[in-house]
Amino acid sequence: MTWVRGGGLTTLLFLLPLLFAFGAFSWYPIVRTVIMSLQHTNLVQPATWVGFKNFEQVWHDPLFPIAVKNTAYFAGLALLFGYPVPLVAAVLMSEVRKRRGIYSALAYLPVVIPPVVAVLLWKVFYDASSAGAFNTVLGWIHLGPYPWLQSQQWAMPSLVLESTWANAGATVIIYLAALTSVQTELYEAASVDGAGIVRKVWHITLPQLRGVLLVTMILQIIGTAQVFLEPYLFTSGGPANATLTVLLLIFNYAFGNSLGGDYGAATALSLMLAGFLAVFSLVYLRATRSWSTR
Amino acid sequence: MTDGEGSTGLISTAEWHKRSVRWGIGGLQALLLAALVVGGLGPILWLAKGAITPTIDTITHPMGLFEHGTAWSNLKEAWSTVHVGLYFWNTVVIAFGSWASQLLVATTGGFALSVLQPRYAKVINALLLTTLFVPAVVLLVPLYIEIVHPPLIHHSLIDSYWAVWLPAGASAFNVVLVKRFFDNLPREIFEAARIDGAGPFRLFRSIVLPMSKPILGVVSIFAVLASWKDFLWPLLVLTNPNEQPLSVRLPSIQAQTSLGVFLAAMFIACLVPIAGFLVFQRSFLRGGGLGGALKG
């Protein structure tokens, strides 16, 4: 196909929207981030080169270790709450014989709720007075009232709980799709050999899902490492910086000061986060390679 | 996702006939359903109830059910007095523009890379895939500065909807999804069209696009939903409250009005996504699985 395989003007015309969108709003900003992280810029005066000063400044910021620790705590808790739940739910749902659609629709419903609504609604639920929605329900069984977002100790778990509610449904759907491709002959063979349901789950279902399981885990870690909306809207990073995350710190560097943003520090920290996630993903993929492609 | 008679599934028919299995698994499934109703549907039903309950009742008895009647006025007050109506239309306009921009980039780009295949397609493909691995936060600050001081046009795009519409087009996920779909279209049809004298434009408009309705539907649904959910970017580039979408306004609305009216505003913000989900459930759930397949 001669006209098809050319590099002619027509082809370029078709590529124009893509080249413009990605050139202007993806590729160029990525390069620009690297440049800005090495500069001092405030949009008023011309930018000056400062080498790695921005990185040093972020590294020595007393808020930096707090933000890193909080983000790791959020990611860890989210893994603990949020990782096993969708898997168990999906395995149970895949064996539903009638009206399976209702299960998946209910599980996915929170995912379509705008995240701002989800957070602000849960903020109402988390009302710390004894007349708050959650405290009322827990009061029926003589628990609480709990301070939820107002306590340094409970604020982060509260954020993770809402975030798990908002996101778990999407993972359930991924697992359900993956479960349909499990080779069913293996189940039959195992049944013939006398394996029970639990053993079949452990020896057939989970190993067959391991590729998907590994991917959803790393994607969840990458996602939770960039948590922003929950700490921003629930607590603004408080109380006493207990929910200050890396992304919130980046946001505060760039946009938190009405006198002008510290764009150098913001881009430096975002590159540090991206670099960490890249290294982490590589190590993760290497470490799990033998297990995922057996 | 059909309700297959899973006789060859995890639980065999023989096992399903055992009473202990049927009761055990059935019990767990009933428990799961109850948890999904309470957990998945419960908060949304509570929001719907709060939207039409007098503020004082919601504050004093959050789990009560219309103890002192209803307050439908919340919805009306939210729509007009708190200007939710205006913000709602802003959201619609923003979502429509973002959808158009994403669809334009994904279809033309996907067509060029999959069907026309210029020699440099590989380079562009590689560059596209790279962006999938760059966390969005890396783009935040330089994109913002680009909107404040755009190169060439020297006129700030702050408070212009183009500031939201244009960057929305740069979604590598969409392009990859559409390109993969085009890759699987039968090449013989393209060849036949060429013999009949169709040029690339004709091929694109009359053959490729009509054959791609399923994937364009999925991309459209997720484009609109993502735009409806977006918060941080419109917050940064749309500073004029009269232009902001609902999600950006909601935190300020909370401070301006009573709890009942605020809950009504949030309920209105949920209506379109929920209605869309109920109508296009199949595409949503399949698209969710698609995302997993692509990421996998």
Task: Tokens for A206, please give them.
Answer: 């989970």
Pick the residue of A108, A117, A185, A230 with the most B CBs within 10 A to test the interface with B by mutation.
Answer: A117
Q: What is the pLDDT of residues B84-126, one digit of tens each?
A: 999 999 999 999 999 999 999 999 999 999 999 888 999 999 9
- pLDDT score of B260: 92
Question: Residue B291: what pLDDT?
Answer: 52
Query: What is the 8-class DSSP label of residue B154?
Result: -
Measured between beta carbons, the chain B residues lying within 8 angstroms of A211 are: 296
Estimate to the nearest angstrom the gap between the alpha carbon of B164 and the chain centroid. Answer: 15
Q: Band of the pLDDT at B293, cuts 50, 70, 90? A: very low
pLDDT of residue A99: 82
Residue A129 in this model has a pLDDT that exceeds 90: no
Which pLDDT band, with edges at 50, 70 and 90, does A37 fall under?
Answer: very high
Tens of pLDDT along B255-278? 889 999 999 999 999 999 999 999
Contact A26, A13 (CB under 8 A): no
Residue B242: both structure tokens together:
């009269």
Angle between helical axes of B42-51 and A115-125 (0-180°, round to 10)? 80
SS3 label, residue A48: strand
Cα B222 from Cα B162, distance rounded (Å): 20
Which has the minimum average pLDDT: A43-57, A209-223, A271-285, B3-17? B3-17
Q: What is the mean pLDDT of residues A22-43?
A: 91
Residues of A in contact with B43 (CB under 8 A): 110, 121-122, 125, 165
What span, in angstroms and rounded, lies between the C-alpha atoms of B45 and B37?
Answer: 10
Cβ–Cβ under 8 Å, residues B93 and B242: no
Mean per-residue pLDDT over chain B, rounded: 88
Estimate to the nearest angstrom the gap between the alpha carbon of A276 and the chain centroid. 15
Given a cut of 80, is residue B1 above it in pLDDT?
no
Domain boundaries, chain B: 13-76, 83-256
Distance from CA of B253 to the nearest CA of A (A): 11
* CA separation for the pair A70, A81 (Å, rounded): 16
Please, what sign has the CA dihedral across residues A265, A266, A270, A276?
positive
Q: Is A279 on the interface with B (CB under 8 A)?
A: no
Residue A119 has which token pair? 């957070």
Q: Do A197 and B25 touch (CB under 8 A)?
A: yes
With 80 as the cut, is the pLDDT of residue B243 above it? yes
**For the whole model, what pTM was predicted?**
0.89
Structure-token match 């628990």, residue found: A143
Cross-chain Cβ contact B289/A176 below 8 Å: yes
Whether residue A178 has pLDDT greater than 80: yes
Cβ contact, residue pair A131, B149, below 8 Å: no
CB contact under 8 A, A133 and B63: yes
Report how far residue B87's alpha carbon sits from residue B108's, in angstroms, rounded to the nearest whole number.
32
- Whether residues B10 and A116 touch (CB distance < 8 A) is answered with no
Q: What is the ipTM, given to two decimal places?
A: 0.89
Q: Mean pLDDT across chain A, nearest whole number?
A: 89
- Rounded Cα gap, residues A124 and B49, in angstroms: 14
Question: What chain B residue is nearest to A205 in terms of C-alpha separation?
Answer: B10
Residue B248 token pair: 């950006």
Of the listed ranges A206-220, B59-73, B154-168, the one predicted with least confidence: B59-73
* pLDDT reported for residue A293: 57
Q: Which residue type sits at B168?
A: A
The answer for residues whose C-beta is within 8 angstroms of residue A248's C-beta and 6 or more apart is A67, A228, A231, A232, A237
Phi, psi (rounded to 5 degrees) for A40: -105, 115
Cβ of A226 within 8 Å of Cβ of B229? The answer is no
Check A15 against B108: CB less than 8 A apart. yes
Q: How confident is the model at residue A238 (pLDDT cuts 50, 70, 90)?
A: confident
pLDDT of residue A202: 87
Give which of B282, B240, B246 is closest to B264, Cα–Cα: B246
The residue-averaged pLDDT of A12-20 equals 95
d(CA A204, CA A191): 11
The pLDDT, as a whole number, for residue A1 is 45
Residue A228 has pLDDT above 70, yes or no: yes
3-state secondary structure of B160: coil
Residues of B in contact with A27 (CB under 8 A): 127, 131
Q: How far is CA B287 from the centre of its chain?
A: 11
Quote the pLDDT of residue B289: 60
- Nearest CB among B8, B138, B170 relative to A21 is that of B170
Alpha-carbon span B125 to A45, nearest angstrom: 38
Return the residue in B101, B134, B141, B232 with the most chain A beta carbons within 10 A, the one to mutate for interface testing.
Answer: B141
Query: What's the pLDDT score for residue B8?
Result: 55
Report the alpha-carbon distance of residue A37 to residue B142 in Å, rounded: 10
- Is residue A292 scored above 80 in pLDDT? no
What average pLDDT does the segment A38-61 reach?
88
Span B243-266, average pLDDT: 94
Contact B268, B79 (CB under 8 A): yes
A39 pairs with which residues across the strands? A49
Closest chain B residue to the Cα of A233, Cα to Cα: B251
Q: Say which residue the tokens 């990185």 belong to.
A: A55
Mean pLDDT throughout A172-193? 85
Measured between CA atoms, the residue of chain A closest to residue B267 is A117
* Neighboring chain A residues of B154 at a CB cutoff of 8 Å: none
Contacts of B1 in chain A (CB under 8 A): 100-101, 104, 176, 180
* Nearest residue on chain A to B284, alpha-carbon basis: A108
> How far is the C-alpha of B144 from the C-alpha of A267, rounded, in Å?
12
CB neighbours of residue A153 within 10 Å: 9
User: Which pair of structure tokens corresponds to residue B37?
Assistant: 């109703």
First to last CA, chain B: 19
Residues of B with CB below 8 A from A87's CB?
A: none
Phi, psi of A49 (to 5 degrees): -75, 130
Average pLDDT over residues A12-22: 95
- For the cut 70, the answer to whether the pLDDT of residue B141 exceeds it is yes
Nearest to A39 by CA among A291, A262, A281: A262
Residue B133 phi/psi, 5-degree rounding, is: -95, -5
Q: Give the mean pLDDT of A185-192.
A: 83
**Is there a contact between B278 and A164 (Cβ–Cβ < 8 Å)?**
no
User: Are A35 and A263 contacting, i.e. CB atoms less than 8 angstroms apart?
Assistant: no
- What pLDDT sits at residue B290? 59
The answer, yes or no, to whether the previous bond of B245 is cis (omega within 30 of 0) is no
Residue-level pLDDT at B154: 81
CATH number of B83-256: 1.10.3720.10
A-B C-beta contacts closer than 8 Å = 325
Taking alpha carbons only, the member of A210, A234, A202 closest to residue A118 is A234
Contacts of B101 in chain A (CB under 8 A): 21
Q: Is A247 in the B-facing interface, judged by CB distances under 8 Å?
A: yes
Which DSSP string corresponds to B219-261? HHHHHHHHHHH--HHHHHH---GGG--HHHHHHHHHHHS-HHH
Distance to chain A for B278, nearest Cα, Å: 8
pLDDT of residue B138: 92
Task: Give dist(CA B63, CA B50) in Å, integer.
Answer: 10
Label residue A65 exposed, middle or buried (CB < 10 Å: 0-12, 13-18, 19+).
Answer: exposed
Q: How close B268 gets to chain A, by Cα (Å)?
A: 10
Q: Which two tokens stand for residue A259?
A: 């006198």
Q: Which numeric CATH code is attached to A65-292?
A: 1.10.3720.10
What is the reported pLDDT for B288?
Answer: 64
Q: How confident is the model at residue A6 (pLDDT cuts 50, 70, 90)?
A: low
Which of B147, B11, B47, B169 is closest to B102 using CA atoms? B169
Contact A7 B43 (CB under 8 A): no
pLDDT band of residue B3 (cuts 50, 70, 90) is: very low
User: DSSP character for A26?
Assistant: I
Q: Which of the residue ranges B1-10, B188-197, B250-259 would you say has the lowest mean pLDDT? A: B1-10
Nearest CA to CA, how far is B287 from chain A (Å)?
9
Rounded to the nearest angstrom, the minimum Cα separation between B99 and chain A is 14
Residue B5 has pLDDT above 60, yes or no: no
d(Cα A251, Cα A257) in Å, to the nearest integer? 10
Q: Which chain A residue shows the shortest CA-CA distance from B111?
A: A14
Pairwise CB contact (< 8 Å): B137 & A104: no
Q: What is the C-alpha separation between A113 and B48, in angstroms, rounded?
A: 13
Beta bridge partners of A49: A39
Using an 8 Å CB-CB cutoff, list chain B residues near A103. Answer: 32-33, 36
Whether A255 sits inside 8 A of B118 (CB atoms) is: no
Contact by Cβ (8 Å): A154, A146: yes
CB-CB under 8 Å, A28 with B14: no
